[in-house]
Structure 1
Amino acid sequence: MKYKKTGAAVAVVLSLQLVLSGCWFNNSSVNKVVNKNTGKTETVQIVPGESNQDYKMLWPQTNDPVRGYIQYGETNLVDSDQLEVGLMDLSKSAFSPNQYVFQSGQYLKPSDINGILYRQGQEKSQSQSSGQQGKVLPGLNPPLAKGSNPVQQAQNSPKYMNYVLEQDYLKKAKNGKYTLGGVSIAVSLNSVYTDSITDSKGLINPISEQLNPSTVEAWGKAHAQQILQRIRSVSGLQQVPIFFTLYLAAAPEALVSGNFFASTYVGNGSSTIGNWTAVNENHVIFPSNTASSQYKSDSGKFNNFSSAVQKYFPDYVGVIGKGYYQDQTLEDLTLNINFNKFVDQTEIIGFTNYVASIVNNSFSFSNQVPVHIYITTGDVQDALIERTPSMNNAYVSIYQH
């Protein structure tokens, strides 16, 4: 097996030095990009992808107007991560990594996103309180329903949308300059509507309403046309091709993320949603009723691995897995092994090597499935074991604290 013992703090410092120095960039060629705000040409460096199947990225990126704004929409960190990474992965079908360079969204501002997410009728009061001037477009989330009080009104008419994510894909023109070649949009929808409603007495009332997934998905498709038209109204996005996706978020406390369920490609200048392509993906936790009922074979493989691991310290080890499926096929597996308490560093080394030997010699999952195993005590990571399709044996990294 490939083996590495690392001082965690030192590793972080070295990584930062590499990024700051830019020594791993290819500086032999000068890349030009047209700044969308000024129209001026700027010199940029391109961060290479991990492989030919991954996007190159602009570095440094220009100021992202909504950097970090996603945290105000998604209530679960796993959804924030999956929405961004998942959209990038799906975008490869529309904007090939061989032809396009990734840049975080530069066109939708917080006010544009809020304008879509406001309830119908809410937008006027919001614009007045924020001091916005000019024409205010109506919100696209459902208006408040009838009810005897604000809490009941909100509960009777849940919000369906929680965020709209933009990603930009730049293409090199004949003059050698990178310009916007395509945009990807993810509309994130609620599976659980959570909100904080202030009643007539000034008291804040938290609400949480479980929504019917089929109802939410149908609403998303029915209102996609309006959302697209709103995006087309943003300066710079009137003509560019748009890859448009719909995402159903997980519950706020869920351990695994939600899933994309539909996508469509909108050509140059079009404001019409055509046919939807189903996105068949699923995030599954092991062990769980979903895993044992829908993925019985993989659930058995996980149970075998968990039993083998727990033989080392039967009373002190817990194992949880997270599987990512596309079209019912396992594409990625993360395993978290939490140990109650290691006595010393040699115990960590011995246990990690034991787990790695299971992966190398008796692991039931296919070699084509990337596997990431995190060994922790409490919130502290002690070791990482990884295996990719290109590896004959697992890669092991043990951290010193």
Structure 2
Amino acid sequence: MFTTVFLAACGNNKNNNENSSSGTQVISQTNSNYYQGVIKKGHYLTSKSRGVSVQQNDNQLNLKGFENGLLSISKDHFPTDDYILQEGQYINTDTVENWLGRKSKSNPDGLNPEGKDSKEPLYLQQMDEQDFMTEDHDSLKIKGMTIGLGINSIYYYRKEAYGAVYQKTLNEKDIVKQGKEIADKILQRLRKRKELKNIPIVFALYKQAPNDSLVGGNFFASSVNNGNNIKNSDWKSLNVKNYVLPDETSKGVNSNDENAFENFKNQIQKFFPNLSGVTAQAHYVDGQLRGMHVNITTQFYGQSEIISFTQYVNSTANKYLPNNIPIDIQISSTEGMQSFLSRKTGSNNFYTHVFTSY
């Protein structure tokens, strides 16, 4: 269990360092791409805001894309070699629930508009806090913070309890306007806390994908606020997009990337025709392919078949899929995951693993 947690939040290549007075322990780094994490009194400090949403989020890819993208943005401002990641501890769960609610007499801190669900859309869907610490005389001091805000692109609502679900597509300008206004209100509230008054605080706005989307949403703006700024005045547009391959619309996907995936797909389907599906999620930043996650659904059950297929996928992926980007390939059946392949940026080979049962 601990290995999984550590890999999700690792950083500097130092020995575990424990402050005996507070029982706080810093987790050693296994990879320079990860932050060090924090354990307190034997327990990993989980985020108090993670997973809290104003409505049921039916697209789990939104949550994954939100968390992974937020970490990438944080790394641009708080390098993994200089900072320790402490998952959000300053905005507690009750506060997040109030902020995600509608503003009303009973909830004056609500950040969503006043009004009835059937008439006034909810914009703010989820939020997450990341705290960035440094060690100071055997204790951790907060030196920076990132706040991610998930903004709805489609508003789902019911006109009556347990009734039919309706949906309303939100205007792009309203999404941007509401996101920035909400960020300003949160920044002002955070600055009232003594320990957060003078640290840099980064805000990142994420547009949620529809519930039926095969990919998650994308971050579209960020702002860095140094010193004691109480207004996000320097917003930067982010050109981050996720696409599904094969892409029937052919919008946004580079034709070379699309052809490479199509060739890969055709080759493995010819060799093993009893495949249920081969799809990919392509991640683009500023129009350039930065990563790919491939899902292959099979009907194999024999161990020798799985091993042979995994080996063939490995050689075919090396031959056809784009180079110099991280790629994960997951091979699954109705029985669950059968094997996976992973290649890091700059690597020429895939790491492969076939699951076995004894």
Whether the 8 Å contact between 2:52 and 2:127 is mirrored in structure 1 is: no
Q: CA 1:208 to 1:348, structure 2 compared with 1: closer, same or farther past 3 Å?
A: same
Q: CA 1:73 to 1:272, structure 2 compared with 1: closer, same or farther past 3 Å?
A: farther
Q: CA 1:314 to 1:30, structure 2 compared with 1: closer, same or farther past 3 Å?
A: closer
**SS of the residue 1:314 aligns to:** coil
The two structures have a TM-score, normalised by structure 2, of 0.87
Which residue, 138, 143, 159 being the options, matches 2:122?
159
Q: Whole-Å Cα distance in 2 between the matches of residues 266 and 314 of structure 1?
A: 54
Q: Whole-Å Cα distance in 2 between the matches of residues 63 and 284 of structure 1?
A: 30
- Give unmatched runs, 5+ long, in structure 1: 1-11, 20-24, 34-40, 128-136, 145-152
Residue type of the partner of 1:154?
D
Deviation at 1:120, TM superposition (A): 2.8
Deviation at 1:356, TM superposition (A): 1.3
Deviation at 1:222, TM superposition (A): 3.8
Deviation at 1:319, TM superposition (A): 0.5
Deviation at 1:48, TM superposition (A): 3.0
The residue number in structure 1 matching 2:313 is 355
Which residue, 158, 170, 173 being the options, matches 1:214?
173
Residue type of the partner of 2:170?
L
Which residue, 277, 280, 288 being the options, matches 1:321?
280
The residue number in structure 2 matching 1:132 is none
Question: How many residue pairs align between the two structures?
Answer: 349
Pairing 1:1-400 to 2, within 5 Å after superposition: 30-32=17-19, 41-59=21-39, 60-62=43-45, 64-66=47-49, 68-70=51-53, 74-121=57-104, 124-125=105-106, 137-144=108-115, 153-173=116-136, 175-198=137-160, 204-233=163-192, 236-291=195-250, 294-339=253-298, 341-360=299-318, 362-366=319-323, 368-378=324-334, 380-400=336-356
Residue type of the partner of 2:306?
I
Whether the 8 Å contact between 1:107 and 1:236 is mirrored in structure 2 is: no
**SS of the residue 1:69 aligns to:** coil
The residue number in structure 2 matching 1:6 is none
Deviation at 1:45, TM superposition (A): 2.5
Q: Whole-Å Cα distance in 2 between the matches of residues 386 and 65 of structure 1?
A: 31
Q: CA 1:101 to 1:74, structure 2 compared with 1: closer, same or farther past 3 Å?
A: farther
Which shifted more, 71-80 or 245-254? 71-80
Residue type of the partner of 2:217?
G
Q: CA 1:296 to 1:270, structure 2 compared with 1: closer, same or farther past 3 Å?
A: same
Residue type of the partner of 1:309?
I
Q: C-alpha deviations, 1:204-229, integer Å up to 9, x for none?
A: 45332222333312322244322322
The residue number in structure 2 matching 1:148 is none
Q: CA 1:62 to 1:398, structure 2 compared with 1: closer, same or farther past 3 Å?
A: closer
Q: CA 1:390 to 1:300, structure 2 compared with 1: closer, same or farther past 3 Å?
A: closer
Deviation at 1:315, TM superposition (A): 4.6
- Give unmatched runs, 5+ long, in structure 2: 7-11
Deviation at 1:67, TM superposition (A): 5.4
Residue type of the partner of 1:139?
G
Residue type of the partner of 1:391?
S
Q: Whole-Å Cα distance in 1 between the matches of residues 335 and 123 of structure 2?
A: 34
Q: CA 1:111 to 1:379, structure 2 compared with 1: closer, same or farther past 3 Å?
A: same
**Percent identity (aligned):** 28
Deviation at 1:286, TM superposition (A): 0.4
Ranked by relative contact order (alpha carbons within 8 Å, sequence separation 6 or more), the top structure is: 1
Q: Whole-Å Cα distance in 1 between the matches of residues 54 and 271 of structure 2?
A: 40
Q: Whole-Å Cα distance in 1 between the matches of residues 301 and 82 of structure 2?
A: 52
Q: C-alpha deviations, 1:324-359, integer Å up to 9, x for none?
A: 1111111111111111x2252111122221111212
Deviation at 1:69, TM superposition (A): 2.9
Q: CA 1:377 to 1:29, structure 2 compared with 1: closer, same or farther past 3 Å?
A: closer
Aligned CA-pair RMSD? 2.8
The two structures have a TM-score, normalised by structure 1, of 0.78
